[in-house]
Amino acid sequence: MGDINIFLLLLIGANAIVSYKGFNDMIFFRKYEFHIGSIKAGEQYRMITSAFLHGDMMHLVFNMLTLYFFAPIVIYSFGVLPLFLIYFGSLVAGSLLTLYFHKNDYSYRAIGASGAVVGVLYSAILLNPNMELRLFFAIPIPAYLFGIGYLLYSIYGMKAKSDNIGHTAHFGGAIAGYLITLAREPNMIYDNTLMVVLLAIPIVLLFILSRSGKL
């Protein structure tokens, strides 16, 4: 448990420190946020650094609380290093998918660890599909409904384009967390087919909407 706490505290601490710096230093924030024009100009480091910036304290707290509650499930099942792989694999996948979807929008900007966190969330739900969450700390809800709802809200965020939160990255992260977990535990496809299919629904919906030009 000590290793789990240390790893999570380091990861959460890194997000908190970088985000706090960004809250108070707009030059720093602009230098390290995800920005298509700058990335295409050669600043690919933004695809990583942007995931440690957040729009405001609520955005940061929500992401870090989600990570804190779901990461131990992944660590318990796979270990610390696989969690690291899922987190940063999901982070990179989220940035790559964002770059793909917005490659022609040179003004597009985004920030947030949500892609990485959603990857961990999806992995944890696959590993423990029967767990229950307390929405707003009071309303019981199955974890898989929370995961699906989170991605459906992300589709709304992508369509609305009313903030610079990396909604597209949520899907890249979910895809990475989903595939990495199934690659490590392929028996889930047979043992937990319903959950595997349910969690794939919003991912498939995203690509249907994209192909039909509705995003």
DSSP track, 62-113: HHHHHHHHHHHHHHHHH-HHHHHHHHHHHHHHHHHHHHHHTTT-TT-EEB-S
Burial 59-68 (b: 16+ CB within 10 A, else e): bbeebbebbe
CB 63 within 8 A of CB 19: no
CB 90 within 8 A of CB 171: no
Give me the DSSP letters along 158-197: HHH--S-B-HHHHHHHHHHHHHHHHHH-TTHHHHTHHHHH
Backbone angles phi, psi at 132, to 5 degrees: -125, 140
Distance CA 195, CA 104 (A): 35
Both tokens of residue 84?
Answer: 């690291």
Q: Please list the pLDDT of the chain residue by residue as tens digits (215 residues).
A: 445 578 888 999 999 999 999 999 999 999 999 999 999 999 999 999 999 999 899 989 989 998 998 999 999 999 899 999 999 999 999 999 999 988 999 999 989 998 999 999 999 989 988 787 776 667 788 888 888 887 887 777 766 666 656 667 888 899 999 999 999 999 988 888 888 998 888 888 877 877 776 66
Report DSSP state, residue 56: S
3-state secondary structure of 141: strand
Report DSSP state, residue 33: S
Structure confidence at residue 155 (pLDDT)? 77
How far, CA to CA in Å, does 115 sit from each of 42, 138, 177, 213? Answer: 22, 26, 9, 23
- Which residues lie closer than 8 Å to 44 by C-beta, 6 or more apart? none
CA 113 to chain centre: 6
110 bridge partner residues: 34
How far, CA to CA in Å, does 128 sit from each of 74, 139, 141? Answer: 9, 19, 14
